A and B are shown apart, each in its own frame.
Chain A
């Protein structure tokens, strides 16, 4: 069996050398960059919006228990059900047994990374349900039997031509790769699903505590169809999505949408507080909210790193990440990719994903764009430090740094042994060995100077 770390290296090796892949990602990210460049000047001060978003989310994380209970009480007052799932398995079991008890056969889903995290769709398919992803990108990757490539843009790795080919194969009747035709074909195919589904499953962008509302925003309107048409609506989301006040959305919605898509606001903003009321004309008959913990409480208990829970899943950090741009989303082997995935996954899924904390050059571009100001690259450093503290690094590396420390604690031994080391490299290279193999595999060997700076200084050459 291969480990997650070996899988990552295998993917990284393949994708790093795949120039077509690099071009497609670059093109899609350029598109996002251009939108962003146009929208940012429309803010009087985007930095202030980030600052306020960070404060709102910081407050939410600090008072998570209080706000969640407030939210729960409101939902229950209106006849909705709230289920607290400690693990992915509990969350899955709740939705599966609900579907089974109600005789559900057809399910429409709007975008939800938490349902990816708990692998909900395969569990529902196992009991005979047919599940449609209705976000266009999600549906495309579902047709390809793939997990999402990106938190916000699940089909970012595909060109229009590839999508047209996929539709031609799966739906038939496609004559071009004109986006209009492709979208129309998707609309037709999904329309039937919306009207026949007995259950709709959605995620949540935010859970509003004081108003007791689930807030969802989409560009395609599929979210509203999923949450309104079927008899049963199930929201599956993480406990960290709660915020204190309805008025917070006035800041968070534009900031989220801007960071996620480079637009000011998405087309549809839906707020739901429970099942259809007695004098209401639409909405589901049954309303359930599944609040998933799955490791989040443990992160909450960590005062140093709990601000990672502020994340609003905008994926801005993925778009700017040079590592993501080279290896792409599937390489991570995680639900959440890119910098936030590398920070979060070792916490949620344990030491098997330690390697992701190291798969970064610590360039910090992620931190510079995060709309809720999570210090992402510092968290990578803290993850690394924790890995070392817990004794999870190889002995050879531990010994190497012990040796490094000894070397650097005396300038005499440092100067003398560095010289000896470089000479050894030169001699070995001269004998045909390659002591710098890990470096020269991808680069030309560096040229070594005759004298070090300190020797030049001492000799009066400076």
Chain B
């Protein structure tokens, strides 16, 4: 029996790319999950934490945990924001509890729901960018690949240095825009070299940056979230 899921919609997904949240909900419902959205949620505190404002981050983090206090399982479409909660809250808060119930979306599918085929179809060539936080903080590596391999018509191609950072890095992307862009350029070159039409990831922040880099260089490649691929339903 799958738990009732509280949706963790990170603030910038809420404001900038809500469709990622919608697509995640669609997949979760398709595999039989009941979901609800705790409307009191705002931000997990990562921007302040990463910039060094731990006092400001702490009060926001405490509030965040209160919002999800009653939830049995919390699922969010961002490796980075889930890593903030699960990996970095212990550094920020004295003795936080209930952190293990927070899951990154692909992690929930493969490790909790134990499902790889979500009944999706996407007849395209796709390459996967490992988001740094999902990969190195949460250990998400095989899951997204297994999910993608089960999508009807999808051809998964590995790029060189798939685990290298895309260059986003939060405020780093504007504080050191030139380095961030060069990293994005390297990443998208590696992605394009596979001949893929789409680059996907479990982190919308990486994708927002890559999308900006790709469109700036007028590349035909598109950045798309894993949830949006998995949401494309296969017709029986």
Interface residue ranges, A against B (CB under 8 Å): 9, 12-13, 16-17, 22, 322-323, 325-327, 358-365, 367-368, 378, 381, 383-389, 393, 397-398, 401-402, 404-405, 407-411, 414, 418, 422, 438-446, 448-449, 451-454, 456-458, 461-462
Shortest distance between the CB of B147 and any CB in chain A (Å): 21
Could you show 13 A-B contacts with beta carbons less than 8 Å apart? A17-B178, A325-B186, A361-B169, A404-B56, A405-B59, A439-B173, A442-B178, A444-B212, A449-B16, A449-B18, A452-B14, A453-B14, A462-B37
Residues in A whose Cβ lies below 8 Å from that of B213: 442-443
Cβ of B177 < 8 Å from any Cβ of A? yes
Query: Known: A401-B56, A453-B13. Contact between A322 and B51, CB under 8 A?
Result: no
Q: Which of B1-41 contact A (CB under 8 A)?
A: 9, 11, 13-19, 21-22, 25, 37, 39-41
Query: Known: A326-B182, A381-B52, A401-B51. Contact between A365 and B174, CB under 8 A?
Result: no
Cβ of B99 < 8 Å from any Cβ of A? no
Q: Which of B107-136 contact A (CB under 8 A)?
A: 132-133, 136
Q: Chain B CB within 10 Å — which of A362, A386, A389, A418 has the most? A: A362
B63 and A462 contacting across the interface, CB-CB below 8 Å: no
Q: How far is the CA of A13 from the CA of B181 in the complex (A)?
A: 10
Residues in B whose Cβ lies below 8 Å from that of A454: 9, 14, 37, 39
Query: Known: A388-B52, A442-B178. Contact between A405 and B22, CB under 8 A?
Result: no
Cβ of B184 < 8 Å from any Cβ of A? yes
Q: How far is the CA of A148 from the CA of B177 in the complex (A)?
A: 26
- Write out, one digit per residue, whether chain B residues 35-76 have a CB within 8 A of any chain A CB (1) or not (0): 001011111010111111110100110010000000000000
B interface residues, tally (CB under 8 Å): 66
- Write out, one digit per residue, whether chain B residues 150-162 have a CB within 8 A of any chain A CB (1) or not (0): 0000000000000
A443 and B53 contacting across the interface, CB-CB below 8 Å: no
Q: In the complex, given contacts A322-B183, A408-B43, what are 17 additional A-B residue pairs having Cβ atoms less than 8 angstroms apart? A: A16-B179, A16-B181, A360-B169, A361-B169, A361-B180, A362-B169, A365-B164, A385-B53, A386-B52, A388-B54, A398-B53, A438-B174, A439-B177, A440-B212, A444-B214, A446-B212, A451-B18
B48 and A365 contacting across the interface, CB-CB below 8 Å: no
Shortest distance between the CB of B77 and any CB in chain A (Å): 10
Shortest distance between the CB of A330 and any CB in chain B (Å): 14
Q: How far is the CA of A358 from the CA of B183 in the complex (A)?
A: 16
- Write out, one digit per residue, whether chain B residues 205-236 have a CB within 8 A of any chain A CB (1) or not (0): 00011011111100000000000000000000
Closest 8 CB pairs of A and B: A361-B169, A443-B212, A384-B52, A442-B181, A444-B215, A363-B165, A453-B18, A16-B182
Shortest distance between the CB of A5 and any CB in chain B (Å): 11
Selected contact of A326 from candidates B14, B60, B183, CB within 8 Å = B183
Q: Is the interface of B mostly helix, strand, loop or mixed?
A: helix
Query: Known: A17-B182, A325-B186. Contact between A384 and B59, CB under 8 A?
Result: no
A411 and B41 contacting across the interface, CB-CB below 8 Å: yes
A444 and B60 contacting across the interface, CB-CB below 8 Å: no
Cβ of B142 < 8 Å from any Cβ of A? no
Residues in A whose Cβ lies below 8 Å from that of B19: 449
Residues in A whose Cβ lies below 8 Å from that of B53: 385, 388, 398, 401, 405
Shortest distance between the CB of B155 and any CB in chain A (Å): 26
Q: How far is the CA of A70 from the CA of B24 in the complex (A)?
A: 62
B15 and A422 contacting across the interface, CB-CB below 8 Å: yes
Shortest distance between the CB of A9 and any CB in chain B (Å): 8
- Chain A residue with the shortest CB-CB distance to B18: A453
B17 and A449 contacting across the interface, CB-CB below 8 Å: yes
Cβ of B197 < 8 Å from any Cβ of A? no
A453 and B60 contacting across the interface, CB-CB below 8 Å: no
Q: How far is the CA of A456 from the CA of B7 in the complex (A)?
A: 14
Q: How far is the CA of A341 from the CA of B215 in the complex (A)?
A: 34
Residues in B whose Cβ lies below 8 Å from that of A387: 52
Shortest distance between the CB of A139 and any CB in chain B (Å): 30
Q: How far is the CA of A239 from the CA of B133 in the complex (A)?
A: 35
Q: How far is the CA of A254 from the CA of B199 in the complex (A)?
A: 39
Selected contact of B172 from candidates A360, A414, A458, CB within 8 Å = A360
Residues in A whose Cβ lies below 8 Å from that of B60: 405, 408-409
Query: Known: A363-B169, A378-B91, A393-B52. Contact between A452 and B18, CB under 8 A?
Result: yes
Query: Known: A361-B169, A446-B16, A449-B17. Contact between A438 and B50, CB under 8 A?
Result: no
Q: How far is the CA of A149 from the CA of B42 in the complex (A)?
A: 44
Cβ of B144 < 8 Å from any Cβ of A? no
- Chain B residue with the shortest CB-CB distance to A406: B56
B212 and A439 contacting across the interface, CB-CB below 8 Å: yes
- Chain A residue with the shortest CB-CB distance to B43: A408
Q: How far is the CA of A244 from the CA of B35 in the complex (A)?
A: 57
